Amino acid sequence: MTNRAIPPILTRPFVLVSLASLAYFVADGTSIALVARFAIGPLHADALGAGLTYGAFSLSALVLRPLAGRVADRRGRRPLMVGGSLLFGAAMLAHLLASSLAILVVLRLVLGVAEAFVFVAAFAAEADLAPPERRGEALTFFSLSLYAGIAVGPLIGEAAFGAGGFAAVWIAAAVVAGIAALVALAVPETRPAEAVGQGHSGRLLHPAGILPGLILMTGIWGMGGWFTLMPPYAVGPLGLDGARLFLLTFGATVILARLLGARLPDRVGARRLSGTALFITAAGLGLMGLLPTVAGLFAGTLLLGLGVAFTTPALASLTVSRAPASERGAALGTFSAFIDLAFGVGPIAMGAVAAASTTPIAFLSASAVALIGAAILWRWLRDAPPAYS
Protein backbone atom coordinates (compact mmCIF):
# COMPACT_ATOMS: atom_id res chain seq x y z
CA MET A 1 0.00 0.00 0.00
CA THR A 2 1.52 3.32 -1.11
CA ASN A 3 1.09 6.61 0.64
CA ARG A 4 -0.80 9.21 -1.32
CA ALA A 5 1.38 12.18 -2.28
CA ILE A 6 0.73 15.31 -0.24
CA PRO A 7 -0.49 18.06 -2.59
CA PRO A 8 1.74 21.13 -2.54
CA ILE A 9 0.66 24.54 -1.28
CA LEU A 10 3.44 26.79 -2.54
CA THR A 11 2.54 26.68 -6.22
CA ARG A 12 3.41 29.58 -8.51
CA PRO A 13 -0.15 31.06 -8.44
CA PHE A 14 -0.29 30.77 -4.62
CA VAL A 15 3.05 32.54 -4.24
CA LEU A 16 1.98 35.29 -6.67
CA VAL A 17 -1.23 35.93 -4.74
CA SER A 18 0.74 36.02 -1.49
CA LEU A 19 3.31 38.45 -2.92
CA ALA A 20 0.61 40.73 -4.31
CA SER A 21 -1.13 40.69 -0.93
CA LEU A 22 2.13 41.37 0.89
CA ALA A 23 2.85 44.37 -1.35
CA TYR A 24 -0.66 45.71 -0.80
CA PHE A 25 -0.46 45.42 2.98
CA VAL A 26 3.00 47.00 2.99
CA ALA A 27 1.45 49.94 1.12
CA ASP A 28 -1.34 50.02 3.69
CA GLY A 29 1.12 49.91 6.56
CA THR A 30 3.27 52.65 5.04
CA SER A 31 0.64 55.27 5.79
CA ILE A 32 -1.18 53.79 8.76
CA ALA A 33 1.19 55.17 11.40
CA LEU A 34 1.16 58.69 9.97
CA VAL A 35 -2.47 59.37 9.11
CA ALA A 36 -3.36 60.55 12.62
CA ARG A 37 -0.29 62.79 12.72
CA PHE A 38 -1.31 64.29 9.39
CA ALA A 39 -4.85 64.94 10.63
CA ILE A 40 -3.72 66.53 13.90
CA GLY A 41 -0.78 68.40 12.38
CA PRO A 42 -1.30 70.01 8.95
CA LEU A 43 -5.09 69.64 9.05
CA HIS A 44 -5.40 70.94 12.65
CA ALA A 45 -7.85 68.23 13.74
CA ASP A 46 -8.35 67.11 17.33
CA ALA A 47 -8.19 63.56 18.67
CA LEU A 48 -11.82 62.97 17.67
CA GLY A 49 -11.06 64.01 14.11
CA ALA A 50 -8.05 61.71 14.00
CA GLY A 51 -10.20 58.85 15.25
CA LEU A 52 -12.81 59.64 12.62
CA THR A 53 -10.27 59.06 9.86
CA TYR A 54 -9.69 55.51 11.10
CA GLY A 55 -13.38 54.88 11.64
CA ALA A 56 -14.21 55.94 8.08
CA PHE A 57 -11.85 53.29 6.72
CA SER A 58 -13.45 50.52 8.79
CA LEU A 59 -16.97 51.68 7.93
CA SER A 60 -16.61 51.44 4.16
CA ALA A 61 -14.64 48.18 4.42
CA LEU A 62 -17.36 46.70 6.64
CA VAL A 63 -20.14 47.62 4.20
CA LEU A 64 -18.26 46.62 1.04
CA ARG A 65 -16.70 43.29 2.03
CA PRO A 66 -19.86 41.18 1.48
CA LEU A 67 -20.49 42.91 -1.85
CA ALA A 68 -16.84 42.42 -2.85
CA GLY A 69 -17.23 38.71 -2.18
CA ARG A 70 -20.20 38.44 -4.51
CA VAL A 71 -18.38 40.39 -7.22
CA ALA A 72 -15.34 38.11 -6.84
CA ASP A 73 -17.58 35.09 -7.40
CA ARG A 74 -19.20 36.59 -10.47
CA ARG A 75 -16.32 38.47 -12.11
CA GLY A 76 -13.26 36.70 -10.75
CA ARG A 77 -10.58 37.28 -8.15
CA ARG A 78 -7.88 38.96 -10.25
CA PRO A 79 -9.91 42.00 -11.39
CA LEU A 80 -10.63 42.95 -7.79
CA MET A 81 -7.02 42.45 -6.71
CA VAL A 82 -5.72 44.61 -9.55
CA GLY A 83 -8.49 47.20 -9.36
CA GLY A 84 -8.36 47.46 -5.57
CA SER A 85 -4.59 47.98 -5.59
CA LEU A 86 -4.85 50.67 -8.28
CA LEU A 87 -7.69 52.36 -6.38
CA PHE A 88 -5.56 52.36 -3.23
CA GLY A 89 -2.64 53.91 -5.10
CA ALA A 90 -4.82 56.61 -6.65
CA ALA A 91 -6.35 57.49 -3.27
CA MET A 92 -2.89 57.76 -1.71
CA LEU A 93 -1.77 60.16 -4.44
CA ALA A 94 -4.94 62.16 -3.84
CA HIS A 95 -3.68 62.69 -0.28
CA LEU A 96 -1.31 65.21 -1.83
CA LEU A 97 -4.38 67.42 -2.39
CA ALA A 98 -6.02 66.80 1.00
CA SER A 99 -6.44 70.26 2.48
CA SER A 100 -9.16 69.56 5.05
CA LEU A 101 -10.30 66.83 7.42
CA ALA A 102 -13.42 66.26 5.32
CA ILE A 103 -11.32 65.45 2.25
CA LEU A 104 -9.13 63.13 4.29
CA VAL A 105 -12.18 61.27 5.62
CA VAL A 106 -13.52 60.81 2.09
CA LEU A 107 -10.16 59.44 0.97
CA ARG A 108 -10.14 57.05 3.92
CA LEU A 109 -13.57 55.83 2.85
CA VAL A 110 -12.16 55.13 -0.60
CA LEU A 111 -9.23 53.25 0.93
CA GLY A 112 -11.74 51.10 2.81
CA VAL A 113 -13.33 50.16 -0.52
CA ALA A 114 -9.91 49.20 -1.90
CA GLU A 115 -9.20 47.14 1.21
CA ALA A 116 -12.47 45.25 0.83
CA PHE A 117 -11.74 44.42 -2.81
CA VAL A 118 -8.15 43.25 -2.34
CA PHE A 119 -8.55 41.39 0.94
CA VAL A 120 -11.65 39.41 -0.01
CA ALA A 121 -10.44 38.59 -3.52
CA ALA A 122 -7.00 37.46 -2.33
CA PHE A 123 -8.53 35.48 0.53
CA ALA A 124 -10.83 33.69 -1.91
CA ALA A 125 -8.00 33.09 -4.40
CA GLU A 126 -5.83 31.42 -1.77
CA ALA A 127 -8.79 29.27 -0.70
CA ASP A 128 -9.34 28.31 -4.36
CA LEU A 129 -5.71 27.28 -4.76
CA ALA A 130 -5.33 25.38 -1.49
CA PRO A 131 -5.83 21.60 -1.44
CA PRO A 132 -8.90 20.88 0.72
CA GLU A 133 -6.88 18.77 3.17
CA ARG A 134 -4.34 21.60 3.62
CA ARG A 135 -6.65 24.60 3.40
CA GLY A 136 -6.20 25.65 7.00
CA GLU A 137 -2.42 25.57 6.59
CA ALA A 138 -2.63 27.60 3.37
CA LEU A 139 -4.86 30.28 4.88
CA THR A 140 -2.55 30.50 7.89
CA PHE A 141 0.40 31.23 5.60
CA PHE A 142 -1.68 33.77 3.68
CA SER A 143 -2.59 35.61 6.87
CA LEU A 144 1.10 36.27 7.49
CA SER A 145 1.15 38.66 4.52
CA LEU A 146 -1.12 41.02 6.45
CA TYR A 147 0.97 40.97 9.63
CA ALA A 148 4.26 41.20 7.73
CA GLY A 149 2.94 44.12 5.70
CA ILE A 150 1.72 46.00 8.76
CA ALA A 151 5.10 45.36 10.42
CA VAL A 152 7.26 46.47 7.46
CA GLY A 153 5.05 49.26 6.12
CA PRO A 154 5.42 51.67 9.05
CA LEU A 155 9.21 51.41 8.78
CA ILE A 156 8.99 52.54 5.16
CA GLY A 157 6.52 55.26 6.13
CA GLU A 158 8.75 56.65 8.87
CA ALA A 159 11.77 56.62 6.55
CA ALA A 160 9.81 58.37 3.81
CA PHE A 161 8.51 60.96 6.26
CA GLY A 162 12.03 61.69 7.45
CA ALA A 163 13.22 62.11 3.87
CA GLY A 164 10.40 64.21 2.44
CA GLY A 165 7.53 64.74 4.86
CA PHE A 166 3.95 63.59 4.39
CA ALA A 167 4.09 63.95 0.59
CA ALA A 168 6.87 61.37 0.43
CA VAL A 169 4.77 58.97 2.54
CA TRP A 170 1.77 59.22 0.23
CA ILE A 171 3.92 58.73 -2.86
CA ALA A 172 5.77 55.76 -1.35
CA ALA A 173 2.48 54.07 -0.44
CA ALA A 174 1.15 54.66 -3.97
CA VAL A 175 4.28 53.19 -5.55
CA VAL A 176 4.10 50.03 -3.44
CA ALA A 177 0.38 49.69 -4.25
CA GLY A 178 1.30 49.93 -7.93
CA ILE A 179 3.74 47.07 -7.43
CA ALA A 180 0.92 45.06 -5.86
CA ALA A 181 -1.24 45.70 -8.94
CA LEU A 182 1.55 44.60 -11.28
CA VAL A 183 2.09 41.37 -9.36
CA ALA A 184 -1.67 40.75 -9.29
CA LEU A 185 -1.75 41.06 -13.08
CA ALA A 186 0.46 37.97 -13.26
CA VAL A 187 -1.96 35.95 -11.12
CA PRO A 188 -4.04 33.51 -13.16
CA GLU A 189 -7.76 33.61 -12.50
CA THR A 190 -8.49 31.11 -9.73
CA ARG A 191 -12.29 31.20 -9.65
CA PRO A 192 -13.44 27.56 -9.81
CA ALA A 193 -14.78 26.45 -13.17
CA GLU A 194 -18.09 25.41 -11.62
CA ALA A 195 -18.59 28.97 -10.41
CA VAL A 196 -18.56 30.44 -13.92
CA GLY A 197 -22.05 31.27 -15.09
CA GLN A 198 -23.71 30.33 -11.81
CA GLY A 199 -26.01 32.85 -10.26
CA HIS A 200 -26.45 33.77 -6.65
CA SER A 201 -29.53 34.08 -4.53
CA GLY A 202 -29.08 37.85 -4.26
CA ARG A 203 -28.46 37.76 -0.50
CA LEU A 204 -25.77 40.14 0.59
CA LEU A 205 -24.71 38.20 3.69
CA HIS A 206 -23.80 34.59 3.00
CA PRO A 207 -25.07 32.15 5.67
CA ALA A 208 -21.79 30.21 5.68
CA GLY A 209 -19.90 33.28 6.89
CA ILE A 210 -22.28 34.64 9.52
CA LEU A 211 -21.78 32.27 12.45
CA PRO A 212 -18.00 31.82 11.98
CA GLY A 213 -17.74 35.60 11.56
CA LEU A 214 -19.71 36.22 14.73
CA ILE A 215 -17.44 33.84 16.64
CA LEU A 216 -14.40 35.53 15.10
CA MET A 217 -15.69 38.88 16.31
CA THR A 218 -15.78 37.62 19.91
CA GLY A 219 -12.21 36.36 19.53
CA ILE A 220 -10.65 39.58 18.23
CA TRP A 221 -12.91 41.96 20.16
CA GLY A 222 -10.35 42.12 22.95
CA MET A 223 -7.45 42.57 20.53
CA GLY A 224 -8.94 45.79 19.17
CA GLY A 225 -9.50 47.11 22.68
CA TRP A 226 -6.04 45.98 23.74
CA PHE A 227 -4.42 48.03 20.98
CA THR A 228 -6.42 51.04 22.17
CA LEU A 229 -6.14 50.75 25.95
CA MET A 230 -2.83 48.97 26.54
CA PRO A 231 -0.38 51.77 25.55
CA PRO A 232 -1.80 54.42 27.94
CA TYR A 233 -2.26 51.73 30.61
CA ALA A 234 1.40 50.68 30.35
CA VAL A 235 2.63 54.27 30.54
CA GLY A 236 0.14 55.48 33.17
CA PRO A 237 -0.80 53.03 35.95
CA LEU A 238 2.14 50.68 35.29
CA GLY A 239 4.68 53.51 35.04
CA LEU A 240 6.57 52.27 31.97
CA ASP A 241 8.21 54.51 29.38
CA GLY A 242 6.30 53.00 26.47
CA ALA A 243 4.36 50.02 25.14
CA ARG A 244 6.77 48.86 22.41
CA LEU A 245 7.83 45.71 24.31
CA PHE A 246 4.24 44.48 24.51
CA LEU A 247 3.47 45.38 20.88
CA LEU A 248 6.59 43.53 19.74
CA THR A 249 5.73 40.55 21.94
CA PHE A 250 2.22 40.37 20.54
CA GLY A 251 3.30 40.63 16.91
CA ALA A 252 6.16 38.15 17.27
CA THR A 253 3.89 35.66 19.06
CA VAL A 254 1.27 35.78 16.30
CA ILE A 255 3.81 35.38 13.49
CA LEU A 256 5.81 32.60 15.16
CA ALA A 257 2.69 30.71 16.22
CA ARG A 258 1.28 30.80 12.72
CA LEU A 259 4.58 29.72 11.17
CA LEU A 260 5.16 26.87 13.59
CA GLY A 261 1.52 25.83 13.88
CA ALA A 262 0.41 26.29 10.29
CA ARG A 263 -0.75 22.67 10.01
CA LEU A 264 -2.81 22.66 13.20
CA PRO A 265 -6.13 23.75 11.58
CA ASP A 266 -6.01 20.65 9.35
CA ARG A 267 -4.56 18.24 11.90
CA VAL A 268 -6.55 19.24 14.98
CA GLY A 269 -9.64 20.39 13.11
CA ALA A 270 -10.76 23.97 12.50
CA ARG A 271 -13.57 23.87 15.07
CA ARG A 272 -11.52 22.39 17.90
CA LEU A 273 -8.58 24.68 17.21
CA SER A 274 -10.69 27.83 17.09
CA GLY A 275 -12.47 26.81 20.30
CA THR A 276 -9.16 26.24 22.05
CA ALA A 277 -7.86 29.56 20.69
CA LEU A 278 -10.88 31.38 22.13
CA PHE A 279 -10.20 29.91 25.58
CA ILE A 280 -6.53 30.97 25.34
CA THR A 281 -7.60 34.48 24.30
CA ALA A 282 -10.01 34.65 27.24
CA ALA A 283 -7.26 33.43 29.58
CA GLY A 284 -4.85 36.10 28.37
CA LEU A 285 -7.31 38.94 28.76
CA GLY A 286 -8.46 37.56 32.11
CA LEU A 287 -4.88 37.41 33.35
CA MET A 288 -4.35 41.07 32.43
CA GLY A 289 -7.48 41.95 34.35
CA LEU A 290 -6.82 39.85 37.45
CA LEU A 291 -3.09 40.61 37.68
CA PRO A 292 -2.67 44.36 37.03
CA THR A 293 1.12 44.33 37.00
CA VAL A 294 3.85 44.42 34.35
CA ALA A 295 4.25 40.64 34.66
CA GLY A 296 0.50 40.14 34.29
CA LEU A 297 0.36 42.35 31.22
CA PHE A 298 3.33 40.58 29.64
CA ALA A 299 2.02 37.05 30.29
CA GLY A 300 -1.47 38.07 29.19
CA THR A 301 -0.09 39.56 25.99
CA LEU A 302 1.67 36.29 25.18
CA LEU A 303 -1.56 34.34 25.64
CA LEU A 304 -3.59 36.90 23.69
CA GLY A 305 -1.16 36.68 20.77
CA LEU A 306 -1.27 32.89 20.85
CA GLY A 307 -5.07 32.82 20.87
CA VAL A 308 -5.44 35.40 18.10
CA ALA A 309 -2.84 33.54 16.00
CA PHE A 310 -5.12 30.58 15.44
CA THR A 311 -8.61 32.05 15.68
CA THR A 312 -8.82 33.71 12.26
CA PRO A 313 -7.21 30.99 10.07
CA ALA A 314 -9.21 28.21 11.71
CA LEU A 315 -12.54 29.99 11.39
CA ALA A 316 -11.75 31.10 7.83
CA SER A 317 -11.07 27.48 6.90
CA LEU A 318 -14.33 26.51 8.56
CA THR A 319 -16.18 29.18 6.57
CA VAL A 320 -14.79 27.93 3.26
CA SER A 321 -15.76 24.36 4.12
CA ARG A 322 -19.41 25.43 4.64
CA ALA A 323 -19.84 27.08 1.23
CA PRO A 324 -19.87 25.67 -2.32
CA ALA A 325 -17.01 26.74 -4.56
CA SER A 326 -19.29 29.04 -6.55
CA GLU A 327 -20.04 31.09 -3.41
CA ARG A 328 -16.64 31.00 -1.70
CA GLY A 329 -15.96 34.70 -2.20
CA ALA A 330 -19.36 35.71 -0.84
CA ALA A 331 -18.86 33.54 2.24
CA LEU A 332 -15.42 35.00 2.96
CA GLY A 333 -16.69 38.53 2.31
CA THR A 334 -19.36 38.06 4.96
CA PHE A 335 -16.90 36.39 7.33
CA SER A 336 -14.25 39.11 7.05
CA ALA A 337 -16.80 41.91 7.57
CA PHE A 338 -16.92 40.87 11.22
CA ILE A 339 -13.25 41.85 11.52
CA ASP A 340 -14.16 45.48 10.83
CA LEU A 341 -17.16 45.20 13.14
CA ALA A 342 -14.95 43.92 15.97
CA PHE A 343 -12.35 46.64 15.49
CA GLY A 344 -15.06 49.28 15.26
CA VAL A 345 -17.25 48.30 18.20
CA GLY A 346 -14.80 46.45 20.47
CA PRO A 347 -12.51 49.39 21.32
CA ILE A 348 -15.51 51.67 21.89
CA ALA A 349 -17.17 49.19 24.26
CA MET A 350 -13.97 48.43 26.15
CA GLY A 351 -13.17 52.12 26.33
CA ALA A 352 -16.56 52.80 27.87
CA VAL A 353 -15.98 50.07 30.46
CA ALA A 354 -12.53 51.46 31.27
CA ALA A 355 -13.92 54.99 31.60
CA ALA A 356 -16.61 53.79 34.00
CA SER A 357 -14.25 51.58 36.02
CA THR A 358 -10.63 50.61 35.22
CA THR A 359 -8.63 49.23 32.31
CA PRO A 360 -8.15 45.80 34.00
CA ILE A 361 -11.94 45.49 34.29
CA ALA A 362 -12.21 46.34 30.59
CA PHE A 363 -9.82 43.46 29.88
CA LEU A 364 -12.02 41.19 32.00
CA SER A 365 -15.08 42.24 30.02
CA ALA A 366 -13.32 41.26 26.77
CA SER A 367 -12.37 37.94 28.33
CA ALA A 368 -16.07 37.30 28.98
CA VAL A 369 -16.87 38.11 25.33
CA ALA A 370 -14.31 35.52 24.15
CA LEU A 371 -15.85 32.92 26.47
CA ILE A 372 -19.28 33.67 24.99
CA GLY A 373 -17.79 32.98 21.56
CA ALA A 374 -16.39 29.67 22.79
CA ALA A 375 -19.83 28.74 24.16
CA ILE A 376 -21.49 29.55 20.83
CA LEU A 377 -18.89 27.46 19.01
CA TRP A 378 -19.36 24.53 21.41
CA ARG A 379 -23.12 24.62 20.82
CA TRP A 380 -22.57 24.82 17.07
CA LEU A 381 -20.29 21.77 17.11
CA ARG A 382 -23.23 19.53 17.90
CA ASP A 383 -25.46 20.77 15.09
CA ALA A 384 -23.01 21.76 12.35
CA PRO A 385 -24.20 20.83 8.84
CA PRO A 386 -22.08 18.71 6.45
CA ALA A 387 -19.10 20.47 4.96
CA TYR A 388 -18.17 21.07 1.34
CA SER A 389 -14.76 19.96 0.18
Question: How far is 240 from 232, CA to CA, in rounded Å?
Answer: 10
Confidence at residue 48, expressed as pLDDT on a 0 to 100 scale: 65
The answer, yes or no, to whether residue 302 has pLDDT greater than 60, is: yes
Question: How far is 172 from 92, CA to CA, in rounded Å?
Answer: 9
SS3 category, 249: helix
Top mean pLDDT of 45-59, 235-249, 325-339 is at 325-339
The answer, yes or no, to whether residue 182 has pLDDT greater than 60, is: yes
Say which residue, 32 or 388, is predicted with more confidence.
32
> How confident is residue 50, by pLDDT bands cut at 50, 70 and 90?
low
The answer, yes or no, to whether residue 383 has pLDDT greater than 60, is: no
DSSP 193: G
The answer, yes or no, to whether residue 49 has pLDDT greater than 80, is: no
Name the average pLDDT for the chain.
Answer: 86
Confidence at residue 174, expressed as pLDDT on a 0 to 100 scale: 97
Average pLDDT over residues 36-63: 78
pLDDT digits (tens, 9 = 90+) for 52-104: 776 678 788 888 888 898 898 888 999 999 999 999 999 999 999 999 999 99
> How confident is residue 127, by pLDDT bands cut at 50, 70 and 90?
confident
Confidence at residue 47, expressed as pLDDT on a 0 to 100 scale: 59
Contact 353, 175 (CB under 8 A): no
What domains can you pick out in the chain, each with its CATH number? 12-191 (1.20.1250.20), 207-383 (1.20.1250.20)
CA-CA-CA-CA torsion for 342, 346, 347, 348, nearest 10 degrees? 120
Torsions phi, psi for 160 (to 5 deg) = -65, -40
Top mean pLDDT of 195-209, 237-251, 273-287 is at 273-287
What proportion of the chain, given as a percentage, has pLDDT over 90?
Answer: 40
